[in-house]
Amino acid sequence: MVSKLPNEILHAIADLLRQDDINSLAKSNSHVFPVFNSILYRKNMLESDGWALTWGIINRQHNTVAYALSTGATVLGEALALAVEDGQEQVVQWLLSVKSADFSPKYDFHGQFANWTSQHRIASKCTAASSKCIEQLKGRQQWERHGTFDNRSPLSRAARGGHLGIVKLLIAFNGDYLSMEDLDGKTPLFQAVERGFLDIAKALFNTGHCDLNRTDNEFKTVLSHAASSGNGDIVQWLIRCGGAINLNHQDRYGQTALHYAAERSDVPTTKLLIESGRVDPDITNLYDLTPLHIAIQRSNAVIIKLLTEPRTVDPDFKVTNNFTRLYDVTKNLYVSQPILSIESGEVDNHGRTPLHDATEHSHASLLEPLRDLSRLDSNISEEHSQLMLSQAIMNSDTSTLRLLICSGKVDLDRMDNEGRTPLSRAAKHSDRSIIKLLIDSGRVNLDFKDENGRTPLSYAAEYSDASTVKLLIDSGKVDVDSKDHQGRTPLSYAVQHMDLSNLTRLVVLWCQGDLEPGLNPNTIVPRRSLAGTSTLKTLLDCGKADPNSRDQHGQTPLAYAAEWSDSATIRLLLENPLVEVDSKDRSGRTPFFEAVANGNFAAAEVLLDSKMVNPNPRDKYGDAPIFEFMDLYTSLETLNDDQVLDWSIEDTVKTGYNRLLKLLLSRSDVIVDFRDHHGQTPLLYAAEECGYDVVRLMIESGKVDFAELYAQSLPGQIGPQLMES
């Protein structure tokens, strides 16, 4: 009987069904299978987890990939990462051709372990996968840690995997990938050099946008990595690059490329470096060892001969220079570990993707059949009905909610002990279908304010997805710019989504006692905020939200975003020409000031890159962001003294602070050589509180008068010793 229905009716039926129901129906009849096949792909790609595309890439089924992309889906999750790392050049070309594609992972990893591989995550999330497919996925070792914990760009993945063709595609697609660092501070060139892919390294360098003296989080250059990895061909190529590279660069441990070559007993690399005539064999590392000392320890007669033949070398030679002295003073303070950052796709506040079922399309007429209340006890009390209403909202139970609405036994505007109506609670805890049922009842006040002055739209902006916000705005019965008792608008809440990948911010909140219960930096699985930028975009696009609204503290939405949110939120706000990027709150702080003071590296980076931001703001007390940044270190050291933080979390946070300082110092117009109202300079403060990494970064920036400040201000003999060195 089904096979005789017109295709138009079959399509209409399919639109009202869930994906698994369509799949079952398609398998039951050979006639309807081709009709439903395209619908299955569309449902999967546009309304579900997009497993069809992932499965196609995992199993190298290009027809499946093509079908999945033909749906017009733009939220493509980890597809590009999978295709790049497996070297599927054709698939990469297809993916790059999708306009406005979003390759942020679309899976919610909350509650899982940070040491899981993407294979485990995908296999556990996508239950449609067969056991055979899961085993295939887990068996592909080249995909190990390809997920977003390492934060590698597509170009870094391609360079790491040795896929030259894909590297060339990605260079042409997005030149910004060339300088994009992962959480170890490594660019694509580092990945190519570390793994010995000379052709890829040359392709990257020939773009003219690669700095051979750039350092990663360990202060290593590509030459350091090439020498420590024993990649002689790459060392030879780097030497031939001439003056573009510093052959005597010292990393965090004071090691030069020659140190690493001697350490590996790598005769060819040692010979290349010595014969270049541009290396100093007398440089000592952190432990006062020259390459010759290391060669002697390794009992390598060939390298000893290479080091002693060109010129006279003093085997007891020890250098006393600025950095060596700093190593002695601060060597126990440095730490560096990758920042964990998992980007998830657009999901609601409960960690689920937006629900799309029949209730999404409901309207008042659909409630008529529920007038038969045989399923609802006629003797049920009003109090019990209200309790059932609350439970239905909390559990997103549309069936029970329909019965309660039609029974007439519930007051849909009844306030709880915080003055919130069911609609406000639904905006905070439920999905769009629940909110639509309440609105369609015609018995709710859409703009009701609770005891805090907050409306349902205010809660939806903070906790729900864009479709819920749009539903309320489209009703025409809400004030989009309504302010609560703190003076905050829905737009202000839309930007304030906690980014749980920002461990630096988590630790700051924990120190201040402002972190919500259960969010302990020592135990949390870092992840991106569960709310995307679509909610914010919906509010901005309606044209009724003031992007510069100020709360009782004078803070604008951009200021809140700078304090809490990720780079995507900041970019979206900056795209609005009405946004005042340097607006000051009542304490004189700008959004950029807030980003630095709260250790929000992503926000500070985007604000600085906008070129519209003043990098040297002062608040009403005369303080600058650099001193707030130093205070972050002080707070962290206090926690460390009390052994409150796990050492790995402390390492992660300090690395984040170092990256933030590096970003600050990269701006030519940033001023850090000044004194505060206590007569303290940032450099002196850093030397006392922050350790070697911060001091070195400030000195290497060339923005501080190192010799003068240390000679005049450091106690004891430290200043004179540094001056002598």
The domain limits of the chain are 358-464
**How many other CB atoms are there within 10 angstroms of residue 9's CB atom?**
10
Token pair listed for 685: 């403060």
Query: What residues pair up with 75 in beta bridges, in sequence order?
Result: 102
Q: Which of 78, 37, 39, 32 is nearest to 55 (CA)?
A: 78
Q: Which of 85, 48, 91, 43 is nearest to 66 (CA)?
A: 91
**pLDDT in the model for residue 432:** 85
**pLDDT in the model for residue 114:** 39
Q: Which of 407, 378, 379, 371 is nearest to 392 (CA)?
A: 407
**How many other CB atoms are there within 10 angstroms of residue 218's CB atom?**
16
Query: What residues pair up with 102 in beta bridges, in sequence order?
Result: 75
Q: How far is CA 184 from CA 179, 233, 337, in A?
A: 13, 24, 7
Distance CA 171, CA 44 (A): 31
**pLDDT in the model for residue 90:** 93
Q: Which of 141, 148, 168, 146 is nearest to 157 (CA)?
A: 146
Distance CA 649, CA 635 (A): 14
**pLDDT in the model for residue 725:** 43
Q: Kindly report the CATH number that applies to the domain delimited by 358-464.
A: 1.25.40.20
**pLDDT in the model for residue 506:** 54
168 exposed, middle or buried (CB, 10 Å; 0-12, 13-18, 19+)? middle
Token pair listed for 648: 């790995």
Distance CA 336, CA 334 (A): 7
| Residue 102 backbone phi and psi in degrees, to 5 | -115, 110
Residue 301 DSSP class:
H
**pLDDT in the model for residue 565:** 80
Distance CA 178, CA 200 (A): 12
**pLDDT in the model for residue 141:** 42
3-state secondary structure of 75: strand
Are the beta carbons of 318 and 285 closer than 8 angstroms?
A: no
State the number of CA atoms in the 13 A half-sphere of 230 facing the CB.
Answer: 5
Among all chains, which residue has been given the structure tokens 């398998």? Answer: 27
CA angle 187, 189, 190 (to 5 degrees): 70
**pLDDT in the model for residue 350:** 36
Are the beta carbons of 511 and 100 closer than 8 angstroms?
A: no
Q: Which residues of the chain have pLDDT under 70?
A: 1-37, 49, 104-151, 310-380, 430, 497-532, 637-649, 706-725
Q: Is the sign of the CA dihedral 351, 353, 359, 362 positive or negative? A: positive
**How many other CB atoms are there within 10 angstroms of residue 495's CB atom?**
28
Q: How far is CA 121 from CA 73, 144, 176, 526, 574, in A?
A: 22, 12, 28, 14, 34
Secondary structure (DSSP) of 420-446: --HHHHHHHHS-HHHHHHHHHTT-S-T
Token pair listed for 110: 């909350």
**pLDDT in the model for residue 229:** 92
Q: Give the largest Cα separation in the chain, rounded.
A: 103
Token pair listed for 112: 């899982």
Distance CA 413, CA 425 (A): 11
Distance CA 263, CA 224 (A): 12
Distance CA 656, CA 503 (A): 8
DSSP H or E stretch at residue 221:
none
**pLDDT in the model for residue 157:** 85
**How many other CB atoms are there within 10 angstroms of residue 377's CB atom?**
12
Token pair listed for 594: 């807030």
